[in-house]
Amino acid sequence: MSTQPATQPVLDVRNLYVEYMTDRGAVRAVENVSFQVAPGEVFGLAGESGCGKSTIAHTILRVLRPPALIRRGEILYKGIDVLKMDKMSLEEYRKQLLAVEGVKNLKNTLNPIEAFRWDEVSMVFQSAMNSLNPVIRISDQLMDTILTHENISKDEARARAEELMAIVNIDKRRLNSYPHELSGGMRQRVVIAIALALKPSLMVMDEPTTALDVVVQKDILQQIEELKKKFGFSILFITHDLSLMVEFSDRIGIMYAGEIVEMAPAREILTKPLHPYTQGLLTSFPSITGARVKLTGIAGSPPNLLRPPEGCRFHPRCLYWDKVDATESPRLEEVTPGHFVACTCHKQEILRIAAE
Partner 1 sequence: MTTIDPQTQPGKSDVPALEVRNLVMRFQVGGGARPKLLHALSDVSFSLNRAEVLALVGESGSGKSTTARLIVRLMKPTGGKILLDGEDVLKTERRKASLAYRRKVQMIFQDPFGSLSPNHSIGYQLERPVIIHKRAEGKEAVRQKVYELLATVGLNPPEEMFHKFPFELSGGQRQRVSVARALAVEPEIILADEPISMLDVSIRMGVLNLLYRLKEEKKIGFLYITHDLASARYIGDRTMVMYAGHVVEHAESVRLMDNPQHPYTQLLLAAVPNPRAGLATRYVQARGEVPSLIDPKPGCPFAPRCGKVMDVCRQSMPDVSTVEPGHWLRCHLFTPDA
In the complex, minimum distance from the CB of residue 274 to partner 1, in angstroms, rounded to a whole number:
17
Which of 44, 52, 179, 185 lies at the binding interface for partner 1 (CB under 8 A)?
A: 185
51 near 302, Cβ under 8 Å? Answer: yes
Which of 200, 201, 220 is CA-nearest to residue 210? 220
DSSP for 227-239, please give it: HHHHH--EEEEEE
Q: Is 109 one of the binding residues for partner 1 (CB under 8 A)?
A: no
Does position 230 interact with partner 1 (CB under 8 A)? The reply is no
Q: Does 89 engage in binding with partner 1 (CB under 8 A)?
A: no
Please identify, among the stretches 115-123, 150-158, 198-206, 238-246, the one whose residues bind partner 1 according to the rule CB under 8 A: 238-246
> Between residues 103 and 288, which has the closer beta carbon with respect to partner 1?
288
Instruction: With contacts defined by CB under 8 A, name the span among 10-18, 82-90, 188-196, 208-216 that binds partner 1.
Output: 208-216
> Hey, which residues does 278 pair with through a beta bridge?
none
User: Which is closer to partner 1, CB of 117 or CB of 275?
Assistant: 275
In the set 4, 7, 109, 301, which binds partner 1 (CB under 8 A)? 301
Closest CA to 203 of 145, 131, 117, 123: 123
Judged by CB, which is closer to partner 1: 145, or 249? 249
Rule CB under 8 A: choose which of 222, 319, 331, 349 binds partner 1. Answer: 222
| Contact positions with partner 1 (CB under 8 A) in 243-262 | 243-244, 246-248
Residue 154 beta carbon to partner 1: minimum distance, rounded to whole angstroms: 32
Collapse the DSSP code of 44 into the 3-class scheme (helix H, G, I; strand E, B; otherwise coil) and give the result: strand
Nearer CB in complex with partner 1: 198/246: 246
Using rule CB under 8 A, residue 293 touches partner 1: yes
Neighbour tally for 255: CB within 10 Å? 25
Out of 1, 99, 299, 306, the only residue in the binding site for partner 1 (CB under 8 A) is: 299
Half-sphere exposure of 255 (CA within 13 A, CB side): 30
Asked if 171 touches partner 1 (CB under 8 A), the answer is: no
Q: Mark the segment that binds partner 1 (CB under 8 A) among 15-23, 76-84, 98-106, 278-286.
A: 278-286
Stretch that binds partner 1, among 23-31, 88-96, 104-112, 219-227 (CB under 8 A): 219-227
Q: What SS3 class is residue 214?
A: helix
Nearest CB to partner 1, comparing residues 298 and 345: 298
Q: Is residue 1 within the footprint of partner 1 (CB under 8 A)?
A: no
C-beta of 88 vs 227, nearer to partner 1: 227
CA distance linking residue 251 with residue 32, whole number of Å: 19
DSSP assignment string, 312-347: STTGGG-SS--GGGTTSPP--EEEETTEEE--STTH
Verify binding: residue 270, partner 1, rule CB under 8 A. yes
Burial 5-31 (b: 16+ CB within 10 A, else e): beeebbbbbbebbbbbeeeeeebbbbb
To 5 degrees, how large is the angle CA 209–CA 212–CA 216?
Answer: 90
- Distance, in Å, from the CA atom of 236 to the CA atom of 202, rounded to the nearest integer, reads 7
The CA distance from 66 to 20, in Å, is 8
- Residues contributing to the site for partner 1 (CB under 8 A): 48-49, 183-185, 213-219, 221-222, 225, 240-244, 246-248, 266, 270, 280-281, 283-289, 292-299, 301-302
